[in-house]
Amino acid sequence: MPFQLEPLNVDNIHEHIFERYTQLVSLSDEVSQDLGIHQKTNIVHVDIEPPLHARNKREKLNCLESYNFIIEQSLSGLYSSSNGNSTTGYVLWSTTPAFIQWLLYDPNAYELRKGGSVKTIGTSIARSIPAMFSGKQSTGIVELGSGVSGILPVILGNHVDYYICTDQRGILNKMKHNIRENISQLNRRHCLSQSMGITSGEDREEPAGNAVNLEIMLLDWEKFQLKDGTCYPDLYFLAQKSSTVYIVAMDVIYNDFLIDPFLKTLSQIRDYFIQKKLQTHCLIGIHLRAEDMVANFLEKAVLQYRLPVNHVVDSFLESTRFSLYYI
Ligand SMILES: C[S@@+](CC[C@H](N)C(=O)[O-])C[C@H]1O[C@@H](n2cnc3c(N)ncnc32)[C@H](O)[C@@H]1O
C-alpha cells in the first residue's frame, strides 16, 4: 500500500507525537537507542542496496541500482566546540541512509519517485504527489544541512536535473571531497558542476543529453535572506529550469535554538519557488530524540509559519527511529 499523508494541525500534533513515541517504545528491542551517528569511525562504508526480497525481482527486470560509498568524516570535528552547531555536519547521521533506502527501493514510495496520488487520512480526497525523479517534468532538489557525506546528491543526481547541496562554510570542503570520491556512481547522467569545477564527463559513460547540474552552496540558516534570488544564482537557475522542486532536509531538528532559523529559511525558499510557479514540496526527516523538541518544531511549523505539514504514514518508516514530514 502506498504511503499515506496525515495532515497535522493544532488539534492533532500532540496525539501524533504521543502515538509515534509509543510506537518507538514498543520497538525498543529493534531500533537503535543511540543519538544516530551512522558509524563512529573516520572512514565509513555505506552500502545502499535493494533489500534481499526485492533483489531477485529487480535483477529479472535488469534495473538493479545499488551504491557503495566510502565517506571520510571527522569525529574530532564533531566533538570540537570551535564551530557551534555546524559541527554535527562533520559526520553522517543515520536518517539519511534510512530515507534513501526507503525512497529508492520501497514499493510504497513509488508515488514519490514517479508521481501519483496517495490517500489523505481523515478525508476521502486523494492527494496528487509530483514525481521527485524527473521524467516528463524536469525536477530539482535543494538540500538543507546536507552534511559531509554526499550520499543524497550522488544517488539522487542520477534522477533529477538539478541538485543543490547546502550547509555552513566549515562543512563544504569535506562534502565536495566525498562527492568527488564517489561521483563515479553518479553514472546515469552527465554531471555538470561549477562549484566543483566539473564541466564535462567525457571520461564516463552517460546517456547523451541527460544531465544533472550539481552545485554546492553556502547557506547558513542564521544569516539567510532571500529577496529575489539574485544573490543565490543556483536557486535562480533551478527555478528557471525546473517545473518541480523538492526541498529536502534530513536530521536538522536537534536543537531548539535552530528551529526558527531553519523554518524561516525553509519558508523563504519555498515561497520563492512557489512565486516562480514551480510545484514546490518539502521532505523533512526527523530523528526522534527529545519529544519536546519535535513537538516544538511541528507547532511552530504549523501555527507560526503556517506550513501545510503532513506526517508520512508508512509501515517501513514506522519501524525506524525517524519520522518523515511532507509539506
Ligand atoms: C545532524 S546533522 C545532519 C547532516 C546530514 N543531513 C545527515 O543526515 O548526515 C545537521 C546538519 O545541519 C547543519 N546545520 C546546523 N546549523 C546550521 C545552520 N545555521 N545553517 C545551515 N546548516 C546548519 C549542520 O552543519 C549539519 O550538516
Does the Cβ of 247 fall within 6 Å of ligand 1? no
pLDDT under 70 in the chain at which residues? 54-64, 81-86, 200-209, 229
CA dist., res. 147 & res. 166, Å (int): 8
pLDDT value at position 215?
97
Does the Cβ of 261 fall within 6 Å of ligand 1? yes
Does the Cβ of 279 fall within 6 Å of ligand 1? no
Pocket test for ligand 1, best of 87, 167, 293 (most atoms within 8 A of CB): 167
pLDDT value at position 160?
96
Does the Cβ of 250 fall within 6 Å of ligand 1? yes
pLDDT value at position 81?
65
Please name every residue paired with 192 in a beta bridge, in sequence order, or none if there are none: 213
Q: What is the pLDDT of residues 243-293, one digit of tens each?
A: 999 999 999 999 999 999 999 999 999 999 999 999 999 999 999 999 999
3-state class (DSSP) for residue 215? strand
Q: DSSP state, 37?
A: B
pLDDT value at position 284?
98
CATH architecture classification, 4-326 = 3-Layer(aba) Sandwich (3.40)
Question: How many other C-beta atoms can be found within 10 angstroms of the C-beta atom of residue 159?
Answer: 22
71: left (phi over 0), alpha (psi -120 to 50) or beta: beta
Q: DSSP state, 300?
A: I
3-state class (DSSP) for residue 36? coil
pLDDT value at position 199?
81
pLDDT value at position 62?
46
Does the Cβ of 6 fall within 6 Å of ligand 1? no
pLDDT value at position 207?
47
The full set of domain ranges for the chain reads 4-326
